[in-house]
Structure 1
Amino acid sequence: MTTAVEVPATGGSGGRTAVAARAEALVKSYGSGETRVLALDEVSVDVEQGVFTAIMGPSGSGKSTLMHCLAGLDTVTSGRIWVGETEITGLKDKKLTRLRRDRIGFIFQAFNLLPTLNALENITLPMDIAGRKPEKEWLERVIATVGLADRLKHRPAQLSGGQQQRVAVARALAARPAIIFGDEPTGNLDSRAGAEVLGFLRRSVDDLGQTIVMVTHDPVAAAHADRIVFLADGRIVDEMRKPTADAVLDRMRGFDGQGRVS
């Protein structure tokens, strides 16, 4: 597990805080000239270690682009990104692939489970590919945290949607990554299953010390986070600590239909 670097907290009072990832003056644009689209416009943000952070904003605000850049899944036009002490902007493909494999976990809307493998095999698959043996005690703790002990021999087709996403959460946690990114991780689940998965993510922060960044459009999902960063027009426009669903909904009403702050 990587050690987080301590840097001045963005927008803070000069104190220092451990961060798992950091972005500085990120710009991401597509096209050129009159057709140029600015997806991120000078975005700077710290992802605090051991904190559940949600990224919210209207459609087209840049929230998924920001997450993909922070996770090393997309390149930036300019700016710098660090994961722990490692700057990932400018890393060669091979080194970036290794860093994503060893230090970053992912949870997506689509569960991305292999249908021919059982739950346990799906959980350990990334480590198996990397030639690493899972830490037995940690793996057992993760499985207990997400409540899968009695489903390990089941294949995905034998599991409900919520159970499949729990397998995906356990897979992301099992390698003890420095940070986990979730892109609408409950988007394909009903409200009850979604609440279960969000509860497991919350516990992974509280009980396992995990760092999580989640993109979501759902105020109820965002309320499980410790901190919400709001984007509009490719810029960070607000932040909320200890959110409630009602407070998030009120804030989201401040955006108009084109994704601008009203």
Structure 2
Amino acid sequence: MTESRTGGGGESTAVAARAWQVVKAYGSGETEVVALDRVDVEIARGAFTAIMGPSGSGKSTLMHCLAGLDAVTSGQIWVGDTEITSLKDRKLTRLRRDKIGFIFQAFNLLPTLNALENITLPMDIAGVRPDREWLDRVVSTVGLSGRLKHRPSELSGGQQQRVAVARALASRPEIIFGDEPTGNLDSRAGAEVLGFLRRSVDELGQTIVMVTHDPVAAAYADRVLYLADGRLVDEMWRPTAESVLDRMKAFDTFGRVS
């Protein structure tokens, strides 16, 4: 696999996020655990990237570091043109609010708010008025036009996750991170949500990075990154569920593949 190893300097407009020589370690001395070991990666703008790997490979840690949710031990990370590893807490919080969207396995909806109120809540908190035309387009893309006045308890799991997807899209972030976003859904509802994520890339120009263990989910992506032992060891373009499954079996059979 060819990895980009450019550090410092300017940022390409085609890159939504970038990690350079990132190390993330927990503990010290004999108890030190290295979750990420000198990882270099570029996330293409306007594309759907999946991150996969065995349990403990560092895939969620990489996503959390790229999203500014976890500090790196060493190395650098950029979101767009901004190096986030040098930002103070307040500026990092503002960047996450303004430029990054999140979709997690738990829907994290407020039960007392209806779907529309949940979608616009982050912007309401930030004091930002939603772009009505964009909001209508997002709602239409995720198929929620007839459900906006329903509270979470009146929605299925798939519909609740669609609300979470719309919430992430509504502020037009530069990049959206999803951590097993269909993990709590049955296969049909999961396929619906993945389809909406795919459409948000194709029709809305969104950039999405998704951690998943599911070959079927990964097949919706343009590119799959494989981690093992905290290192980026392979990638796959235009994946299919079968090709992803075969690649994961190689990890299980032979351990780390270099």
> TM-score by structure 1 length?
0.93
Matches within 5 A, 1:67-78: 67-78=63-74
Aligned counterpart for 1:188 among listed residues 171, 184, 188 = 184
For 1:256 and 1:205, how far apart are their aligned partners in 2? 31
| Residue aligned with 1:122, SS | helix
Kindly report the root-mean-square deviation, in angstroms, between the aligned alpha carbons of the 2 structures. 1.6
Q: Which residue type is aligned with residue 234 of structure 1? A: G
| Residue aligned with 2:252, SS | coil
| 1:238 partnered with 2:234 | yes
For 1:115 and 1:103, how far apart are their aligned partners in 2? 26
Aligned counterpart for 1:91 among listed residues 64, 87, 96 = 87
Deviation string for 1:34-71 (max 9, x for gaps)? 11100000000000000000000000000000000000
Aligned counterpart for 1:120 among listed residues 97, 116, 119 = 116
Comparing 250-259 with 231-240, greater Cα deviation is found at: 250-259
In structure 2, the residue matched to 1:24 is 20
For 1:236 and 1:85, how far apart are their aligned partners in 2? 23
CA contact (8 A) 1:58 1:259 kept: no
In structure 1, the residue matched to 2:77 is 81
- CA gap of 1:31–1:42, structure 2 versus 1, over 3 A, is same
In structure 1, the residue matched to 2:4 is 10
> TM-score by structure 2 length?
0.95
Aligned counterpart for 1:133 among listed residues 103, 122, 129 = 129
Unpaired runs of 5+ in structure 1?
1-8
CA contact (8 A) 1:57 1:259 kept: no
Comparing 87-96 with 250-259, greater Cα deviation is found at: 250-259
Q: List structure 1 runs of 4+ shifted beyond 4 angstroms.
A: none
In structure 2, the residue matched to 1:143 is 139
Aligned counterpart for 2:59 among listed residues 63, 79, 82 = 63
For 2:254 and 2:112, how far apart are their aligned partners in 1? 43
CA contact (8 A) 2:19 2:77 kept: yes
Q: Which residue type is aligned with residue 89 of structure 1? A: T
Unpaired runs of 5+ in structure 2?
7-11
For 1:142 and 1:127, how far apart are their aligned partners in 2? 15
- Structure 1 residue 257: Cα displacement: 7.5
Q: Which residue type is aligned with residue 90 of structure 2? A: K
In structure 2, the residue matched to 1:5 is none
In structure 2, the residue matched to 1:252 is 248
CA contact (8 A) 1:61 1:259 kept: no
Q: Which residue type is aligned with residue 10 of structure 1? A: S
CA contact (8 A) 1:20 1:178 kept: yes
- Structure 1 residue 255: Cα displacement: 1.1
Identical counterparts, % of pairs: 80
| 1:35 partnered with 2:35 | no
- CA gap of 1:64–1:239, structure 2 versus 1, over 3 A, is same
